[in-house]
Amino acid sequence: MKLFAVTGNPIAHSKSPELFALAYGTAQEQFAYFRLAADSASEAFGICKDLGIRGINITAPFKSDFVSLSTHLSPEVQTLSCCNTLLFEGDEVKAYNTDIEGVLGALRQAEVPLDGLSCLVLGAGSAGRTAAYALHSVGAKVTIVNRTLEKAQSAAQSIACLHISAQEIEGYLPQVELIVNTISGEQSLLPTQSLSPQHTLFDAVYHQSSFRDISKQQGCRYIAGNYWLLHQAIPSFRRFTGVAPDVEAMRAIFTERKSSPRHIALIGFMGTGKSTIAPLLAQMLGLPTVDTDVEIEQRCAMTVPEIIAQRGITYFRQQEQAVVHELLARSESHVISCGGGVITQSALAQRLKSSATVVWLYASPSVCLERINVATRPLLAQQSEPLQAAQQLFAERKFAYAHTAHLLINASVNNPQVISQKIYDQIHTLHQH
């Protein structure tokens, strides 16, 4: 079984996890794919190593930062100093840049003839450099422009293409056919009133692109960045799995309507802070909150340790199943804090995944043990080596957590307020689409 993750700027690439999840289709039991929220490349890298993640699809703003963490760089990554796909193979970490295929695939799909095409790339960051490199490699005439001239100059030098200053854009536009924008809306360098029907505008920034309407107004052709996203995902998927993806399933993500907001379920090993974080998150979201263990205790008029000691773990799981089903059936959205073992019943875990946005709070078993009173945890209390027992239990459950989660949040730092805020930001982004 293999774990994959996607990591990076939550706003720019929030659809990527679904892209891959859809393509896995019937092979779902072999793979788990989820979004990994992180504040830095090194944080995401550490979690990948901890969990034995097999590959990640990296999004802005971490595409350059992962290069120095990798042991093998593809020739394109060496030239461009940015990557979007990482494979972990034993101690080796291999970095690739499939955004090159993303750019070319999108333009080919739009039937733009590339050989000899006069292109202006706005931005010399990782997306800009990659677009310029891709276009140059197929014989287009490429010019890079960037607010900071030196950045444009050094990018152009590494790719062997041209560069101009931001002040020169307006005068340059009449000789340009394709404009690739990699700079987000408000900072855009483009004098939009100078766009004309001779221009095709390919916007890498697909989240709330302002250029769609502008292109319409100016009578020029518009190509959405979604196609870039799709076409980079295809070779990344192949690298992850060794097989070709179901491209039509991937494509469907762009036409699918997001269902209305649903429950939010927190899962994760005992001690990751689910019960503390759920009420904080619920308050931020203005939703009611509920804790499955508390519900079970109320139903049975006994504590969880008493239930497990007197009636057995199977009885407890039955109660848990009934409670989770009942909570998920409620029409009002809730923030649900789930007991750490909820994912051990696979049908229940799948039901959870289909009815809630599932957030996996992750901390290593040793960090978890520091936070809990082992004596009050029935699955660990009788163990002579609680740490070993917890590590063993986590190893057995890891894939089930990954398979159930939409999103992983690092809960290693014991700061419930900060973690709640992170979840809130991510949930907001996921529900915006």
Per CB under 6 A, contacts with ligand S3P among 152-191 are: none
From 340, 365, 386, 416, residue interacting with ligand S3P (rule: CB under 6 A): 340
Closest CA to 355 of 406, 282, 397: 406
The verdict on 123 binding ligand S3P (CB under 6 A) reads: no
- What's the DSSP call for residue 231? H
Stretch of 102-110, 162-170, 377-385, 412-420 contacting ligand S3P, by CB under 6 A: 377-385
365 sits near ligand S3P (criterion: CB under 6 A): no
| Dihedral sign computed on CA atoms, order 290, 291, 295, 301 | negative
Residue 21 contacts by C-beta under 8 Å, 6 or more apart in sequence?
A: 28, 33
Binding status of residue 402 toward ligand S3P by CB under 6 A: no
Does the footprint of ligand S3P cover residue 379 (CB under 6 A)? yes
Q: By CB under 6 A, is residue 378 in contact with ligand S3P?
A: yes
- Give the closest residue to 103 by CA, choosing from 209, 195, 286, 230: 230
Tell me: does residue 293 bind ligand S3P (CB under 6 A): yes
Nearer to ligand S3P, 341 or 416 (CB): 341
Distance from C-alpha of 379 to C-alpha of 342, rounded to nearest angstrom: 14
Separation of CA 84 from chain center: 12
| Annotated catalytic residue within 2, 15, 49, 63 | 63
304 vs 419 by CB, closer to ligand S3P:
304
354-378 per-residue burial string, b: 16 or more CB within 10 A, e: under 16? ebbbbbbbbbbbebbbeebebeebb
Place of tokens 């000789």: 175
Q: Is residue 279 a contact point for ligand S3P (CB under 6 A)?
A: no
Asked if 328 is part of the footprint of ligand S3P (rule: CB under 6 A), the reply reads no
Question: Is 65 an interacting residue with respect to ligand S3P (CB under 6 A)?
Answer: no
Decide: is 61 part of the binding site for ligand S3P (CB under 6 A).
Answer: no
| Stretch touching ligand S3P by CB under 6 A, among 28-36, 267-275, 354-362, 400-408 | 267-275
CA 324, 325, 327, 332 dihedral sign is: positive
63 counts as catalytic? yes
Q: By CB under 6 A, tell whether 389 contacts ligand S3P.
A: no
3-class DSSP state for residue 288?
coil
User: Looking at beta carbons only, is 18 or 293 nearer to ligand S3P?
Assistant: 293
- CA-based nearest residue to 56, from 16, 110, 22, 29: 16
Residues that bind ligand S3P (CB under 6 A): 270, 274-275, 293, 304, 339-341, 377-379
Active site residues: 63
